[in-house]
Structure 1
């Protein structure tokens, strides 16, 4: 199969606007005609190899940005939404979805928002007796979903906040910078034996952090509070640009941006990127170098998407013991299910069986893309005998073409096709006809049911 043609009209228009160029002057610099540029910007023609080279040569443009980003995520999200039975059996062709995502992303986002509202309305109707009599029981989009989508479509990289955190950390370590900032602000830090993770009293200017949690968690919470105290204008400006639909969503996003600052200060972009390359992305070594947890390192690796200085594009996911996805991000072509759990064939579920160990998996998705996947169980003790223990599994991975940059690929046979296990995104949109772990039929395929014949599944997928 030949390589898929690259349609990136929105990216071309965005770059031209950023440079302040007219279509005519932009076309001249690229060495093409004005009509040809117009056709590419409107996705009537694919971006040619000559134009890709000219973008890199003339403007230093990171050409990998043309093939990744919002469009692929929109396509994946629309496919999953359209698998809902409410749309019937005839789903739009994949080419049509790509056209909408590239030419009308605002329309695609509006469609996804409408579908979310429908799903939540159905969930609300299912528990109507609980909602009756409650004030404010009207239909609203989930603030958590709205905030998750904000980070999802920002590629989980907020440039202004990331750079501010990097400047804050400076050339030293984050803890020294944080303690110096507290002294400058006249704030007293107290590490206490408490169930409360973090508490700040603005009147007494006392910051209390629990001593029951790991050192990396204490430092993260310290940096989070510093973000709220010193980065208020930047965070508020970012929230204004996001235009959240409710105060609740804005408040959740503010916490998310403070968390983002804390992670970026703990693991400053340039230093962390260089260390990741030098250690060949050895998560345990990186955690030791920066005084961070394995989960913090894995999550940070998935955010290294700074234009002109990108790291290996990773996906990152965290699941609980029920298989529910509690964190997700992908800078790769792999996109996670928005509803339900992750594919049961994925090694992230097996991580609970082998605590403290990294599991490696070579996997292939239905679109033929191959990945190196890592999984590890993460335990967060409560700090006392009766305190509950949180257990998660994290997954991290990249496309197989980047596997050589990871120490985890050593001694693995990447050339043997049989070594790659088939995984999917969601049973509802996965088209594999013979999956032994399928929970529901694929909604985009026809089924044949023979009551006199039973194979692995009670139906055959056509």
Structure 2
């Protein structure tokens, strides 16, 4: 199979501007002509191998930046937005969406922002009290979605926060217990830590300088909450500076994002970058072994593995997702070509949904998306008990996976028939944008296809996809 040409004009231009070079100077250092560089930056020519090597040698650029940018995410997000019934008569071809994502990513983001505003307004008008003009009924993105998009387009890796957490986790005076160090760090700020039989996982009283943690929570959850409080108190300036750069549209979004960054710090301190990267390599990403080694939960480890995208020291590019029993995605991130539906649930053929049926077990799946990319996917149920009789149990399932090219790095891929094309189950992203014609689990027709309705025949579906 011929190698895929690399069109990364927007990313190439971004790197040049980051280096503070004109096109003329950049072309000279790369050993190409000015017109040739101009054509590459405008995606009229692919980025050549010689240019990629020159960037690595001359500037020390992590060349994976050229191929792991926002392109696939933007294409996936635009396809899903175009699947909105209000745009049913437009439906630009996939090639046009790819060109937009490559040549005009800012325009693509503006379109997505406009579509989010439309959806927000549409949903509010569906409720009578909103339709009557309440003062707060403005067409702004959902704060939750805005924050989720922030992490999504940062590759779920926040360098400054990650490095600060890694520094905090560096042993001092041979003290390796991160929980002890977190309590000590809070103590140095005059904060007293106590445990109580309470429903709240964590409660901090700034007046009394007292942090209360729930005795009902699992030890790894208690440690995580300790580290989260350390982030909010010790790293407040760093978190605020990061939020300033993000330019959120509302104070609510900013507040949610700050908790998200504190959560990020806690996970990165519990599993410092270099240590978790090496341990994952040695243990071949065995989640149970890693959870025991770092005193973390299965979900915490899986989420952390999906964040190992530090330039120059990247881990296996994983996708990570968490769904509830209704199939709604509550957490999502992908460093792979696979992207998740922004609205609605995940593909019902994906093994993450079957994890609820087999509590305590790891489910393995070889899966292939409509674009022909093949993955190894691991699913596991995650139950969060209330800690007392009668308290509700929150149930989720998580999935972690990567492309089959990295299968040798996963202990879970051992024994799977990776060389057999028939071993891969066909999955998709969202029915409205899925191109499969013969899917027996399809809930709605694909938007871009013509349907044939025959009243005298009925197959698995009440229509045929043309």
Range class of TM-score, shorter chain: over 0.9
Match of 1:399 in 2: 403
CA contact (8 A) 1:89 1:444 kept: no
Q: Give 1:268's aligned residue.
A: 272
**Other-structure match for 1:358:** 362
Q: For the structure 1 residues 112 and 130, does the alpha-carbon distance in structure 2 shift closer, same or farther, using more than 3 Å as the test?
A: closer
Contact 2:378 2:400 in 1 (8 A): yes
The 3-state SS of whatever aligns with 1:428 is helix
Query: Is the CA contact 1:212–1:383 (under 8 Å) kept in the aligned structure 2?
Result: yes
Q: Secondary structure at the match of 2:431?
A: coil
2:200/2:214 contact within 8 Å kept? yes
Please name the residue that 1:368 is paired with: 372
In 2, Cα distance between the equivalents of 1:173 and 1:52? Answer: 43
How far apart, in 1, do the equivalents of 2:211 and 2:251 lie? 26
Is the 1:302–1:316 contact (alpha carbons within 8 Å) kept by the matching residues of 2? yes
Contact 2:74 2:109 in 1 (8 A): yes
1:412 is paired with a residue whose SS is coil
What's the counterpart of residue 300 of structure 1?
Answer: 304
Partner in structure 2 of residue 144 of structure 1: 144
The corresponding residue for 1:81 is 81
Match of 2:192 in 1: 188
Mapped contact 1:382–1:388 kept (Cα < 8 A): yes
* Residue 431 of structure 1 pairs with residue 435 of structure 2: yes
Contact conserved, 1:89 with 1:443, CA < 8 A, in 2?
no
Indicate the SS of the match to 2:458. coil
Aligned length: 462
For the 8 Å contact 1:90–1:444, the answer to whether it is kept is no
Cα 1:3/1:461, change in 2 over 3 Å: farther
Alignment deviations for residues 72-107 of structure 1 (CA, whole Å, 9 cap, x no partner): 101110011011121124422222212211222221
TM-score between the two structures when normalised by the length of structure 1: 0.97
The reply on whether 1:237 has 2:241 as its aligned counterpart is yes
Point out the more displaced range, 171-180 or 302-311: 171-180
Runs of 4+ aligned structure 1 residues displaced above 6 Å come to none
| Comparing 411-420 and 86-95, the one that deviates more | 86-95
Please name the residue that 1:343 is paired with: 347
Q: Indicate whether 1:19 and 2:19 are aligned.
A: yes
Residue 286 of structure 1 corresponds to which residue in structure 2? 290
| Alignment correspondent of 1:201 | 205
Report the Cα distance in structure 1 between the residues aligned to 2:82 and 2:383, rounded to whole angstroms: 36
- 1:97 corresponding residue in structure 2: 97
Conserved 8 A contact 2:130-2:137: no
SS in 1 for 2:7: coil
1:264-307 deviation digits (Å, cap 9, x = unpaired): 11111111101100100000000000000000000001000000
Corresponding residue number in structure 1 for 2:157:
157
| Partner Cα distance (1:455, 1:182) in 2 | 64
Q: CA deviation at 1:205?
A: 1.1
Q: How is 1:48-59 mapped onto 2 (pairs within 5 angstroms)? A: 48-59=48-59
Cα distance, 1:386–1:80 mapped onto 2, change above 3 Å: same
Tell me which residue corresponds to 1:322.
Answer: 326
In the TM superposition, residue 53 of structure 1 has moved relative to its aligned partner by: 2.1
The question of 1:6 aligning with 2:6 is answered yes
Root-mean-square deviation (Å): 1.4
Partner of 1:38: 38
Give me the whole-angstrom Cα distance separating, in 2, the residues matched to 1:428 and 1:228: 41
Q: How big is the shift at 1:131?
A: 6.0
Aligned partner of residue 270 in structure 1, secondary structure: helix
Report the CA distance between 1:66 and its aligned residue.
Answer: 1.1
Cα distance in 1 for partners of 2:259, 2:410 equals 32
Distance 1:308 1:392 in 2: 34
1:250 corresponds to? 254
Asked if residue 110 in structure 1 is aligned to residue 125 in structure 2, the reply is no
Equivalent residues of 1:69, 1:331 under 8 A apart: no
Q: Which deviates more, 201-210 or 60-69?
A: 60-69
What aligned pairs does 1:432-447 form with structure 2 within 5 A after superposition? 432-447=436-451
Structure 1 range deviating more: 95-104 or 36-45: 95-104
1:9 shift after superposition: 1.4
For each residue in 1:358-394, what CA deviation from the matched residue of structure 2 results, as whole angstroms up to 9, or x when unmatched?
0000000000000000000001111100211110000
